[in-house]
Structure 1
Amino acid sequence: MSPRGSSGAFLFLGGRMALAKLMTVDDVADYLNKPRSWVYGNWKAEQIPFRKVGQSLRCRPVDLEKWLDDQN
C-alpha cells in the first residue's frame, strides 16, 4: 500500500501502516482551547495548517503539533 495525497497522516502501529484521523474545526478548537468561531475567523491569518476536503476544513494532528511547535 503506497500513501497517496496529503489528506492524512500515516502511523506505523505494530508494523502496520494506519491512517490517522483528520481533525475537524471542532477538534482543533477543543485542542487549542479556543472557540470554534476563533478557529474559523483566524485559520488563514494564523496559518493553522488546514486542508480543504470538499467544503470542510481538516487538519492532520502531526501538522497541528508542528504548527504549535513553530509558534513563538
Structure 2
Amino acid sequence: MKMPSPHEAKPSTNETLWDANDVADFLKVSRSWVYQHAASGLLPLLKIGGLLRFSPSAIRTWAFEQPVLATVRVGGGTQGG
C-alpha cells in the first residue's frame, strides 16, 4: 500500500489532530525525533500555516507498517571464573 506524501495525509472528519507531543507520546520517542522525521518526509503530516499537525489514524497506520527489527544484545552474559 502506498503511503500518502506528507502533505496528502487526510484525517477523518471527526478526528482530532495530534501535535508533535501527542505523536511522541504515542510512539514513545522524543519530540525532536518527531520533528526530524517529519522534516525529512518520513512521517505523514499536515502543515497548517507554520504548524505541524498529525492525523492519529495516519500515524497509527504508519507505525504498524514499519518493519520490525530484531534487537541483538552483545556481551550481555556474566563471566564464570
Give the TM-score taking structure 1 as reference length.
0.69
Decide whether aligned partners of structure 1 residues 58 and 8 sit closer, same or farther in structure 2, where only a CA change above 3 A counts: same
Match in the other structure for 1:47:
42
Any stretches of 5+ residues in structure 2 without a counterpart? 1-8, 68-81
Task: Tell me the C-alpha RMSD between the 2 structures.
Answer: 1.8
Question: Whose Rg is larger?
Answer: 2
Structure with more contact order per residue of length (Cα contacts < 8 Å, sep ≥ 6): 2
Choose between structure 1 and 2: higher strand proportion. Answer: 1
What SS is found at the alignment partner of 1:52?
A: strand
Residue in structure 1 matching 2:61, options 32, 41, 66: 66
Decide whether aligned partners of structure 1 residues 48 and 61 sit closer, same or farther in structure 2, where only a CA change above 3 A counts: same
Residue in structure 2 matching 1:8, options 6, 11, 15: 11
Any stretches of 5+ residues in structure 1 without a counterpart? 1-5, 11-18
> Does the 8 Å CA contact 2:18/2:56 hold for their aligned counterparts?
yes
Worse-superposed segment, 28-37 or 41-50: 41-50
> Does the 8 Å CA contact 2:21/2:31 hold for their aligned counterparts?
yes
Percent sequence identity over aligned pairs = 32
Total equivalences in the alignment:
59
